Amino acid sequence: MKLWGGRFESGPSEVFEKYSWSLHFDKRLVEADTRGSQAFARALSRVGILTAEECARLEAAFAEIRTEAGEPTYFDGAPDEDVHTFVIRKLKEKVAGLADKIHTGRSRNEQVSLDTRLWLREASVLTQQKLAALMEALLQLARRHESAVVPGYTHLRRAQAVLWPHYVLAYFEMLARDWQRFENARRAANVLPLGSGALAGSGFPFDREAIARDLGFEAVTRNSMDVSADRDFVLDYLYAASVCMIHLSRLAEDWILYSSEEFGWLELSDGVTSGSSLMPQKKNPDSLELLRGKSGRVLGSLNAMLYILKGLPTTYNRDMQEDKEQLFDAV
């Protein structure tokens, strides 16, 4: 099924459909999509488009879809172009013609923006939690060897002796700044776009502040043309992730060097290293090398997103479908 039609006498070609479909990667937005649609159903009820009974049926159906989506095979063989059409098709299977009412006064442009913001808001919090756990691990590592003296380097040449905690806490400070950057990204995403329509607002008197409170948003967007094309919040997360990965890559490089025979004052445990199929004496720092390598993917996602957005005319363009693969991979 499709959420558009109107002037078209025939459907898109099979080649174009395969080229443009995004369900294989945007299906991870299904929870955000159903939660956003539940809130929109409540908004439609408040302006009299849905009865209380219709709203309750739709809310229950969206909850069922969200639960069913946890099944590994739920999306197998789906003939839908994206997660939004998938959810609407599943909704029609549950509530028949009532499903058509859920798009009253709502554009897919604002729906995509809402889903991405909801998903990224949660992803930012999870990233911050994992970052806080890493920072705590660094504190524990610093305390474990409080009096250890290690070389401090400039130009990769021995410069001054420093305490091990002083060295480790340098990375703690970097990660603390990263945590704040992810907080800024979360706040940038935490603004409600619903009510903006495709680009010129909605003809229905939706209480946007009430929808924002319903979904836990801190504010509402102010300009419908701006929000239609706004992916700054995606860039904010990707920038925060890129800087964080640069810091982690530097840490990995330090420990790869310091654990080598040439430096020889740090030892990596067996649990994070591998051996050689030919040279039994080897203890390879594979985990750190992979961390260093994966940082390039995250930086690549930021650069790809910048290039996707750099030449777009005002308001929504289909190019922005490409934001999700960059974002999902980086997260």
* Bridge partners of residue 108, in order along the sequence: none
If we measure between CA atoms, which residue out of 314, 288, 145 comes closest to residue 225?
314
| Alpha carbon distance 307, 303 (integer Å) | 6
Q: Number of helices and strands (H, E) in the chain?
A: 12, 4
72 burial via Cβ count (<10 Å: 0-12, 13-18, 19+) = exposed
- Residue positions counted in the chain: 331
State the catalytic residues: 155, 276
What are the C-alpha distances in Å from 68 to residues 37, 48, 73, 277? 16, 30, 10, 45
Residue 114: CA atoms inside 13 Å, Cβ hemisphere, count? Answer: 33
| Alpha carbon distance 37, 92 (integer Å) | 14
Structure tokens at 122: 């949660």
